[in-house]
Amino acid sequence: MDKNAKCAIILEQLLQAAVEAARTAATESGEFAEGKRFAYYDILSIAKEMAEIEEIETSEIGMLDFDPDKELLNAPCEMTAAA
């Protein structure tokens, strides 16, 4: 297996792990969880956009049917009251 193929495998596995962690973060509440959702959104939306530009299906890079806009921006937010 050549180096490019190995890099592609690493990228796919990394994005799969990020999608799983993002979905978990989307179910959590609080300011820290909100920060995590935005961080995952930034990373995964860039990956999705770059795949679209290169005409690569997101399923080919480990994101399957994941849509950062739907799953992270529309996640329920719980505001914490200031003490």
Q: Is residue 81 part of a domain?
A: no
Share of the chain above pLDDT 90, in %: 65
Q: Is residue 44 part of a domain?
A: yes
Query: For 57-69, b where at least 16 C-beta lie within 10 A, e where not — what string?
Result: ebeebbbeebebe
Identify which has the larger pLDDT, 49 or 77: 49
- Rounded CA separation 73/59 (Å): 21
- Rounded CA separation 37/26 (Å): 6
* Total domains, the chain: 1
Q: Is residue 80 part of a domain?
A: no
Q: Is residue 36 part of a domain?
A: yes
The two structure tokens encoding residue 24: 């978990």
Q: Which of 13, 15, 62, 68 is nearest to 45 (CA)?
A: 68
Q: Is residue 78 part of a domain?
A: no
Q: Containing domain of residue 68, as a range?
A: 3-73
CB 37, CB 52: distance < 8 Å? no
Task: Categorize the per-residue pLDDT at 76 as very low, low, confident or very high, splitting at 50, 70 and 90.
Answer: low
Task: Categorize the per-residue pLDDT at 82 as very low, low, confident or very high, splitting at 50, 70 and 90.
Answer: very low
Q: Is residue 79 part of a domain?
A: no
